[in-house]
Amino acid sequence: MQLLILLLLYAAVCANFCSRQGTTAPAQSGSIKALRASNIRRDESNHLTDLYRKEESISVAGNGCIHSPRFPSSYPRNLLLTWRLHSPESTRIHLAFDNQFGLEEPENEICRV
């Protein structure tokens, strides 16, 4: 159930980002908290297994950068990486991706990476 909620939240954030691509928002002076959650994969029997789990809070004041663990190295197949981004009420989080980030075109208003 918790995995389903995380996936739905991920889909909602990606859909929201896709619909606002190309727009700009002013940088915020508050902090952004990023929480890196679990990475889950399927084993040979197609069962979900907990490959790597780490929760880490990163505070970014104003403009800042967050990187995935292992960046720029590649990831194993069937790995789930979830980010939760928090900002103060009445503020926006503006995401800008560099050229190495592989963001596909939205399908049914949902981005896939």
Q: Report if residue 66 sits inside a domain.
A: yes
Full pLDDT tens readout for the chain, 113 residues: 444 444 444 443 433 333 344 444 444 333 344 444 444 555 566 555 555 566 666 666 677 777 776 777 766 665 666 777 777 788 877 777 777 666 556 677 766 55
Q: Report if residue 91 sits inside a domain.
A: no
Q: Report if residue 60 sits inside a domain.
A: yes
Measured CA to CA in angstroms, residue 93 lies from 8, 17, 31, 43 at distances of: 19, 10, 10, 35
Give the total number of structural domains in the chain.
1
Picking from 3, 5, 78, the residue whose alpha carbon sits closest to that of residue 46 is 78
Please give the pLDDT value at position 55: 67
Report DSSP letters for 22-89, one per residue.
T---PPPSSEEEEEE-EEEEE-TTS-EEEEEE---EEEEESS-----TTTTS---TT----EEEE--T
